[in-house]
């Protein structure tokens, strides 16, 4: 019988662990509605920061508006209750901005991205999301 080389076993083991890690990272996304996210950040920002800050999230909600900030950067705002913080989505690239222009007010969408909380881009009040992808529901 031939003995398998221990280095080959180790390489296969490392590849399996790496594959499992990347699968976990890709599919381990927190899912929340725009209303719930806004409620959590408005009423208990410390807990919301612990739960969402700098993590990948998927937010589902209605389009409120698409507009430019400071006449340069286009952003997407999701609808929230009147007394709660707005959710502002910043785009990483021009392709996403172009796709967002096809959206209309009250369209149901899902936005996947990194939650930046309320501190980043302090010139805009609200909960910021660095968008990775947008999909229409």
pLDDT digits (tens, 9 = 90+) for 57-110: 999 999 999 988 877 778 999 999 988 999 999 998 888 888 888 899 999 999
Classify the C-alpha dihedral 13-19-22-24 as positive or negative: negative
Residues 6 or more apart from 80 whose CB is under 8 A from it?
34, 35, 38, 61, 64, 86, 87
Q: Stretch 33-58: mean pLDDT, rounded?
A: 94
- The answer to whether the beta carbons of residues 63 and 103 sit under 8 Å apart is yes
Window from 44-48, 112-116, 120-124 with minimum mean pLDDT: 120-124
């Amino acid at each position: 019988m031939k003995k398998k080389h221990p280095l080959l076993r180790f390489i296969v083991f490392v590849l399996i662990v790496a594959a499992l890690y990347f699968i976990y990272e890709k599919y381990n996304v927190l899912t929340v509605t725009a209303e719930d996210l806004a409620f959590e950040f408005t009423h208990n920002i410390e807990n919301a920061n612990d739960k969402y800050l700098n993590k990948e999230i998927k937010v589902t909600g209605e389009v409120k508006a698409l507009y430019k900030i400071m006449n340069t950067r286009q952003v997407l705002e999701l609808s929230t209750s009147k007394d709660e913080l707005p959710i502002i989505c910043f785009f990483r690239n021009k392709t996403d901005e172009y796709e967002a222009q096809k959206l209309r007010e009250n369209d149901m969408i899902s936005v996947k991205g990194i939650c930046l909380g309320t501190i980043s881009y302090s010139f805009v009040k609200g909960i910021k999301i660095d968008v990775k992808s947008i999909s229409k529901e």
